[in-house]
Structure formats: C-alpha cells, structure tokens
Structure 1
C-alpha cells in the first residue's frame, strides 16, 4: 500500500503527504491543522518570526490538533543572520524602490537595527516548542542543534537540490531529506553551490538521491495531483511535499489576489528571480519582477532586499495589487483544481489510490 512508508511510520502519519512550509507570513495555523487532521504533515514556515512569535504559533497549532506538525527555519547562509551593509548601498536601494513606496502611499524606508530576527533565538524557541518535526532549508544546523533535536525526539528534515547536498545532510545526521527540483515554487534552497548551478528537475533528482542515501527521501517540486505522488513514490521517494496546491487553498495566508493568480493563465508563465528577496525564487511574472530584473545584479542580498520589498508586498496585498506582489508559484499550477485543503487532501488520496491500484501497487 502506498500509504505505508518509512516516513508515515516514523512521523505517525496516515498518508505520506507533507504540506510545503511557506515563509514570509503566508503559512497559516488553519492550513497546518487542516492537513494534519487529514492525515498528512502540516508545516509552518517561521523564519520571519522572532522567538515569541514562534512560541505563539506552536501553541496555536497545538490548541487545535494533537497530530504531528513541522516548523520550518532557514539556516543562515553566508552573513544573512546579521548582514553587513553600508549606508550608501541602503540609500541607493531605497532610491530605486522609492517610486513603488510612493505609488502605494508608503513612507520612505528607514534603516532598521536588524533586517531579520536572530537565528539563535529562533532555534531556541523551536526547541522549546518541541514540534514533531524541525524542517530547514539553505544548509545544515550545527551538530549541537541536531543532537538536541535527537534528545528531544524532534525529527529533522533538510532540503537538498543536488545529490551532494543530500549526502551532506545524511552525513551530518539529519533524519530525512526533501529532494526539491527546480519546478517548485518559492525559493531555490541550494547551499553547496549557487542555486543557478543547482537546477535539477524533481524526477531526475529524486531517484539519484534515493540511490545515494539510506535515509528517507521526500520528493518536492512539480507535484500537484495523484499522478505526481504515484510517480514520485515509484522513483524511490517515501513521501511527497506539495507547496503550490496548498498555497492555493483558502486556508493559506496567501493574499486572495495571489491565490486567484494561481488559477489564472498567468500561472503558466513562471520565472526564477532574485528581485523580491535577494535569493533565487520561482514566481509568476508580473510588473515588479519585470521592472526590477534589469537591476538584479545590484540589489542587496537576503534578508536586506526581502526587508525592503516586504513593505511593498504587504501594501500591495492590502490594495489587491498583484502587479506588485511576490506571486510564488510552481510549474504545476495549471494542474490545480481544489481551493479547500481538506478537499485537496481527499482528492490527492483518492487519485493516488486509484492510480496505484491500476498499476498493481
């Protein structure tokens, strides 16, 4: 039976379906609970939250479900935890983005003390919350953190975009690996090489990773229906992680205009860009992407650029201006049919069961 894998046994799931974690405030407790209560692993991206925010999210999830869930963090890459940025670069980028602030009725940005919450405080909050799963991207937590996770019975799940990254995760003692192909929406989470040099497709990457490591592999990228699930499992995955299809559900915290765009013809035209956050990510082409792309090489890195554009994106969402938002979207968006998380889970399970029966599985 396709429902019974090492991932479902280890995590206590009914089906091997993981909801992809969304950062930047588009995760929601409602979505996590809906997926958990439907037998999958709900995930909440907390990299934008401070310690108190992380504790509040974990408590809110636990108040509504006793099922296992995941909290997801970004491991600091380069100097992203506290980037060095001189005032001249800040002023130049502020000037570049000033027309968008003005158009949206926003005051000019003033330099903050920090561009993102400190990673050390985030880790401590996650460990104190003791979710069933700590998933992470952009690297590998320090050995001491992984050891504390083992002591607290927290399963660790790291993301890999290449076989080399998967091997590095296994050698570090990580419990499971998300093998994520370039079809996926949102950020490309490479950490050993530049993301532009780490763009394997999901169904080429998954069997290679499954052959290279002994720990369970979770396939991600371009999976939105039962056909994708069945194919991923046939290639050696022990579960799948699905992002865009869950982002499109009413329970997600994506702006309604963003969710509507995922069902539009525009969702067929996605692109990889650094303009929204300073890191390579896949989203639907729009005006802000097109206008900032010629300046991509001069933009500050993450989290500085992400801090700059977060105010623009928030105001654009309030004003339902899809042309000025980051419209994260994977290449499987044209396959979307469901707008409710529980209905989506039911459809995924039904379709995968039907397909595996037809295949004799």
Structure 2
C-alpha cells in the first residue's frame, strides 16, 4: 500500500493550471502536507483553500446534536456503503458518546432544486449541522449561506462546494486523476487508444478527477482518447453506456479509465462484448478487486480514491470537531490517494471472494487522515472529539 505523497511524481500536471499564491491559512499547516496536497500547480483551480469561516465557530446548542444528511443520490454501491457506515457504525457510536441526538436523512436524486429545498427545511427543523455529498460545486451556495446565517455549518464530503461558508474534505482529485491516467498510459506501454468513463459530470469530484485523468493521458503523446462517456458512478449505467460505445466503435481499444464506482459494470460490459480483454482502472469495489484477486496478471495496481466508509468517517470527525469549537484552519481538508499492489489486495481480499460483491474495501483509518497526528494539524484547538463530554 502506497500513499501518493511526492509532488515530483506528478510533474507535468501544471498544464492544467495553477491557483497562484498560497492561500491564507495554509502557512499554519505542516509544510510537507501543503507541498504534496495544496501545491497550487496540482490543485483543481476551483478548490477552495482559504481560511475557514468556522475558525471561531461556537455551536448554537450543546450536545447531543441533531445532524442533517442532505444526500444527492442513493443509486450506487458507494452511496450504499456510506449509508451502511452511517447507520451501523457512526450513529450508534456517537449516540452512545452522548454527542448525537439523531440524523435526519434526505435524498434529492441529483436534482439541485430538490436538494436546496431539503437543506433549507433541515435548517428550519433545527439541525445543528448538515453534511452533503458529491454535489454541484456552486448550485448550493446560497443555501449554504442561509444555513450559515442560521448558525448551521455545512460540510461536504467527496468533493467541494465553492461557498466560503462550507467545510470540505476529500482526496486531491486532480492529482488522483492524473495518477490514474498516467498509470493507464504506462500500463499499455505508452501508446494506444483509451476510453474514459467519467462519473457524474457537473459534480466537483467527477470533473476534477476527469481533468486530471485526461492530463495524465495527455502526458504521453502516443495515447489517444477515443471516447469519453458518463458512467454516473453506477455499475448498471456504466455497463450499458460502455456496451453501446463498444457496439458502435469497433476499432482497436487498449484500455479504459473509469471512475469508481462503475468498474464492475465496465468489466461486465467488456466480458459480454466478446472483445479482447483490456486493462481498466479499478478502485474500491470488492467485486472488481475479487476479479483481480482471481486474475493476478490482469493489472499492476489499483487506486483508492474515495473509500465510502473512510470518507464519511472523515467528514463526520471534521464536523464533530467543528461543533466542539476546535476551529478548522482552512476550507478544504485534503488527504492522499492510495496505490495498492496485488500483494496488498491478496492480504485484504480472501481467496473465496465473490466477483459480484457490491461492497467496498475499507482502508486503514490512519491511511485516510483519521489518525490524530494528521487531522489535528488542520484545527486551531485540536482534541479527541470522542472525549468532549469528559472535560
């Protein structure tokens, strides 16, 4: 298992653009973290990294707190993984700690207007904080300000909101995408035709990663992107779209870069097409990892970009710290993507695994920014959030 920490590994990503001077607040962080995760030449130009509006925030109510989860989509394995972690692990734990009253969950099914309405209703219902996932980076901004004006901080996991009144957490998706594109180019020998399967266009996580993927592929002049389709981070959708593309594009194909969670659908589409097997990028879906476990020579590595259990645990930890007055220093807390080899997967995925398993691999908490030494650095007054009522 390898954290992708060295900016030099990603030389060339500057073709995407830079943000300019270091943002206020970054000078308070560990310089190594700033270099590898906040280098302006390696960031999505829209990624908000200014000083947080919640540096001196005080929650409007004492615990136990009422939390709103304004989910934008429920139709893929990743969202199911988040929901399972929330229901089975997070809610029972934090209720037992005396810090959580309830979590009110809404679903907007990718409709921005519906999500906006649901968020406003959550504020009016008296929640103490709201977290959202993978949403449009700008559409929610006025609603985030409405929440802020009513003492309700908004947190975004797996992608950013551009509002100065939100707190965001994720991998640096542009860097992660670059690594995926670069890896695919090298996997097929530096030359060939590649199909790109995006996530949900218009969301920050998808757009940032797609930009990085195409930059990584473009760093090899003999790589040609022969198609770009939307898999919607959903296996069934990606399977159908890839099947249609393969049927209407009979030319040579050497590889497919796909944003997880859709790799199982892409694998099925390839298998059913009758065409020669080509490498695809694999993320955290256990079914796809099982396929690799059973076929060791299929690819050389996989990349963990957004393991759902770890992602929701991270934003929850950040949210609880903020409600406790620990003061996040900056708007976006970023973590490292993880490269895993077959030897790593051999240890984590059993030999009797199921290639149809819709679950997700959970990575070690300390590898996803959940160790105190890493996360404490992002707060002005850091403390173990589980010990708040012991003071």
* TM-score for the superposition, normalised by structure 2: 0.30
Which of the two has higher C-alpha Rg?
2
